[in-house]
Structure 1
Amino acid sequence: FTKGMDSNSVLSTFAPVRTALDGINFSEGLESIGKVMDKGTLIRSYVAADMGFILHARHQYHWHTCYRPPQSVLAPHLGAWIAKQLGPVNAVIPPFIDIGQRFTLGEGEELKAFHSAGFLGNEFGPFLIPDPSAGLDSVRPPAGMSNTRFEKRNQLYDELIRQSPVGEFGSDYQKESLKRSMEQAYILLKSPEAQAFDLTREPKASYDIYNTGKFGLGCLMARRLTEQGARFISVTTEYEPFKGWDTHENGNTRLKDMKKQIDGPVAQLIKDLERTGRLDRTLVILASEFSRDMMVEGRPDAKVQEQVSQPDVITDMKNYGMHRHFTDGGSILMFGGGIKKGQVFGKTADERPCKTIENPLVIDQIHQTIYHALGIAEDAHYVVEKRPFYTTPDGLGKAEMKLFS
């Protein structure tokens, strides 16, 4: 990867709410990731925005769109911008694929708000795969739906679009974009590339390494889809309030299990991409919306209401690892795509509250660093409601060039 070349794809492994405030402790639970750290950069100085309240859905929206909610227009997801700007690598494979998140859980509507292409159009929105173990079902007609019946429905839909009054139910652009997204899905259904979604075709030895749960299998599917030409893939451990990484109690015990779910798959993904020669042209990002206070549940200036009760003296195991939302210093891992190998970037204080003290990075810089790796201009924008809407607010974000080789 040299200056002037652009990466082909981005694979974003999004694990909400990890605890790594001052680097990641590889000595317990993340040994496999530790063994591939010579292939990437550890950012220790990500600073999330102060938006009044440190809440998951608000910060996830900000992380994925680079815009603070609410917005007067529907802000596109990072993956949608990339899909729009660069187009598909393989016309059959959706350019933006999201793996692992359901919207039937708590805060489902808030999650939907940023899983969108917004004004860019439906064809650039995420192709959703809630469960990678059932990934092939995502590209098949529902049960009881024959191919003939499916084709007739598609024809009826085209006719409805043609007959609907202009401007009454969306602009012509949005209607055409929705139609193209339906056509793309239909092409995928009938293509041999759909086999990439079928994890049963993966050799058992490889499957077993990735099979640590939905996130691990999501990483496996992402690798297979990258091989078929997917442009942007997001894999999430899935956000559900007070579940998974959202550890407001039993944190010590739960984190041990959560680290097992991500350690092997992330490391294997990096090794597989390197083995096939794809790592240099695939940017892999492991990140979260914010971090955790490393010592205790609650801070006087945290601006978040009490969510659980912590005793003055901890005697019960469930009270170990009770950590409140923290925005002043977090970690991000980046591999491939021209990112410098074996680098540690930024620094947090050695003492609590462990705030960032060197080379702080905010979300505008992270997004523009990704766009730079892909060859997308800093001032990329579209005119919406007679005003320019940029990839980062007002087009002012700057890539952090020290992250690159």
Structure 2
Amino acid sequence: MKNSFETQNSRREFIKKMSAASLAASATTIPIASFLSSCSPDVQKIAATADSVILLWMAGGMAHTETFDPKAYAPFEKGLNINKVLSTFPKHPTAVDGLEFSEGLQSIGNVMDKGAIIKSYKAADLGHILHTRHQFHWHTCYEPPQSVQAPHIGAWIAKELGPINPVIPPFISIGQRFTMGEAEELKAFHTAGFLGNEYGPFLIPDPSEGLDSVRPPQGMSLKRFEARYKLYKELANKSNVMEQASDYQRESLMRSMEQSYMLLNSPEAKVFDLSQEPKEVYDTYNTGRFGLGCLLAKRLAMNGGRFISVSTEYEPFIGWDTHANGHTRAKQMKALIDKPVAQLIKDLEESGHLDKTLIILASEFSRDALMEGRPGEEVKDQARNQPDVIQEVKHYGMHRHFTDGGSILMWGGGIEKGLVYGKTADERPCVSIEKPVVIDQVHQSIYHALGIDSQTHYEIESRPFYTTPDGKGEPILDLFGKTFSSKEQGTKNA
């Protein structure tokens, strides 16, 4: 017989399982009266070139000059002036003529003939630079704070298109835990906001334990789980949150629970089991949690996943958040992403899924050795005791946040193969100097590939809320192949 502590723990685990498809209602701040209704009756139908999306998220601020847009190489030596440090890695050719990546990314470079690079991404000027503020902006397209809770781009896609496979959640987030610093800030954009819980992310913090996300807690039989599930639904219906929520939000929360339960009892649950992969495939991807996240994303994309996000994970001063030891940490992070990202592209192409899967690799902003923010915008310097003359390797690298240039990679889903879009300056400051790109354009390009019109919006609390602010964002049509462009022209002229 279980004691009261064990019983309480079991209940907590049960509630965690039932909440796995979306963040808890308290985290999503269900409005008292959302009055959510569509006010997009006249949007045009767009010829979609993608069915699904995989977002490979480089959390923490990935330096473009150390990765996909390298500048003049300055090797480490004692007494090196920091002014001379533009890139700390030599360049290597890619599969695209004239395109070079920094050392450590040769595998990704070898698949760039299947994709495109945006070299001129500019992050927003949000004042004092905080990672979670910029991540919120990247994922929702809205600057925080907002009076209305802005949905994640994955939630918009889940709402507009629904699931491909009715059993697989349409929005899955892999790799980000919420048990470390800035957890609440991260939760703020891992949400469907006013769209409702059923469109929120199915959270898988550790892809190696993905199967645990779709089965009862250890030690609980399916029969007992079903009884608990019934009881949980009854308790949820009687909760204060549900009493204050609108009919729409109550129904949405119930549907999210039904979706979780449906997956639990389906054969598709085995898609989350990475142990079913051949050892040689598993080992190729297994550079850590991010690499295994790419493997899980591949399995999900092949089995009806709609929007899948895989994060290197944001934790302050860890991963790409290089406030010190920039060169060493960048080398480690490149080893983490290079092989699994390239293998994901190759596997999806070989299986015939790449043409209909849009893959994006991006980060909230870039980095620089000298400049914090962007030229002409003074913000607080957050680098950790960086000297003007470098004497130790720990001071060698990109340790300051830089928002005026950055790289985004894209593959599949109608993207022009081998395209290089935009340019940054070769000398400091390495700002975007040709075809600058902002987040509204990135989001609308993703929606465009999926056939979602740029004017899509809903009325929330008596005012329209668009996928991008005020409905002004436009897709970058040059990113798409000639076949797509001609189809799009035909659609517009119809």
CA shift for structure 1 position 257: 1.1
Q: Is the 8 A contact 1:166 1:172 kept in 2?
A: no
One-letter amino acid of the counterpart of residue 100, structure 1: G
Q: How does 1:195-234 map to 2 (within 5 A)?
A: 195-234=270-309
For 1:345, the equivalent position in structure 2 comes to 421
Q: Does the residue aligned with 1:388 lie in a helix, a strand or coil?
A: strand
The correspondence for 1:308, drawn from 360, 368, 384, is 384
For 1:23, the equivalent position in structure 2 comes to 69
Q: Is the 8 A contact 1:42 1:345 kept in 2?
A: yes
For 1:90, the equivalent position in structure 2 comes to 165
Output the aligned Cα RMSD. Answer: 1.7
Moved more, 232-241 or 322-331: 322-331
Moved more, 144-153 or 395-404: 144-153
1:393 lines up with 2:469 in the alignment: yes
1:296 lines up with 2:370 in the alignment: yes
Q: Does the residue aligned with 2:54 lie in a helix, a strand or coil?
A: strand
For 1:110, the equivalent position in structure 2 comes to 185
One-letter amino acid of the counterpart of residue 52, structure 2: S
Give the whole-Å Cα distance in 2 for the aligned partners of 1:166 and 1:287.
36
One-letter amino acid of the counterpart of residue 379, structure 2: K
For 1:258, the equivalent position in structure 2 comes to 333
Q: Is the 8 A contact 1:297 1:323 kept in 2?
A: no
> 1:117 and 1:166, CA in 2 relative to 1: closer, same or farther beyond 3 A?
closer
For 1:49, the equivalent position in structure 2 comes to 124
Give the whole-Å Cα distance in 2 for the aligned partners of 1:162 and 1:333.
44
For 1:177, the equivalent position in structure 2 comes to 252
Deviations for 1:143-169, whole angstroms, at most 9, x for unmatched residues? 233222221122123333555689733
One-letter amino acid of the counterpart of residue 296, structure 1: L
Q: Does the residue aligned with 2:119 lie in a helix, a strand or coil?
A: strand
Give the whole-Å Cα distance in 2 for the aligned partners of 1:105 and 1:14.
18
Q: Does the residue aligned with 1:376 lie in a helix, a strand or coil?
A: coil
State the structure with more CA Rg: 2
> 1:169 and 1:149, CA in 2 relative to 1: closer, same or farther beyond 3 A?
farther
Q: Is the 8 A contact 1:99 1:234 kept in 2?
A: yes
Give the whole-Å Cα distance in 2 for the aligned partners of 1:386 and 1:357.
40
> 1:110 and 1:334, CA in 2 relative to 1: closer, same or farther beyond 3 A?
same
Give the whole-Å Cα distance in 1 for the aligned partners of 2:238 and 2:319.
47
> 1:20 and 1:306, CA in 2 relative to 1: closer, same or farther beyond 3 A?
closer
Give the whole-Å Cα distance in 1 for the aligned partners of 2:249 and 2:264.
23
TM-score by length of 1: 0.96
Q: How does 1:342-381 map to 2 (within 5 A)?
A: 342-381=418-457
For 2:41, the equivalent position in structure 1 comes to none
Give unpaired runs (5+ residues) of structure 1. none
For 1:125, the equivalent position in structure 2 comes to 200
One-letter amino acid of the counterpart of residue 279, structure 2: K
CA shift for structure 1 position 230: 0.5
Give the whole-Å Cα distance in 1 for the aligned partners of 2:117 and 2:272.
31
Moved more, 157-166 or 168-177: 157-166
TM-score by length of 2: 0.79
For 1:237, the equivalent position in structure 2 comes to 312
Give unpaired runs (5+ residues) of structure 2. 1-45, 71-90, 92-100, 482-494
Q: Is the 8 A contact 1:99 1:236 kept in 2?
A: yes
Give the whole-Å Cα distance in 1 for the aligned partners of 2:184 and 2:218.
26
Give the whole-Å Cα distance in 1 for the aligned partners of 2:173 and 2:350.
24
Give the whole-Å Cα distance in 2 for the aligned partners of 1:31 and 1:389.
42
> 1:165 and 1:214, CA in 2 relative to 1: closer, same or farther beyond 3 A?
closer
Give the whole-Å Cα distance in 2 for the aligned partners of 1:307 and 1:323.
6
CA shift for structure 1 position 310: 1.2
One-letter amino acid of the counterpart of residue 335, structure 2: K
Give the whole-Å Cα distance in 2 for the aligned partners of 1:175 and 1:357.
49
CA shift for structure 1 position 123: 0.6
Give the whole-Å Cα distance in 2 for the aligned partners of 1:324 and 1:179.
45
CA shift for structure 1 position 304: 2.5
CA shift for structure 1 position 351: 1.0
One-letter amino acid of the counterpart of residue 147, structure 1: L
Q: Does the residue aligned with 2:429 lie in a helix, a strand or coil?
A: coil
Q: Does the residue aligned with 2:120 lie in a helix, a strand or coil?
A: strand
For 1:335, the equivalent position in structure 2 comes to 411
1:320 lines up with 2:396 in the alignment: yes
Q: Is the 8 A contact 2:404 2:432 kept in 1?
A: yes
One-letter amino acid of the counterpart of residue 7, structure 1: A
Give the whole-Å Cα distance in 1 for the aligned partners of 2:128 and 2:238.
46
Give the whole-Å Cα distance in 1 for the aligned partners of 2:242 and 2:221.
34
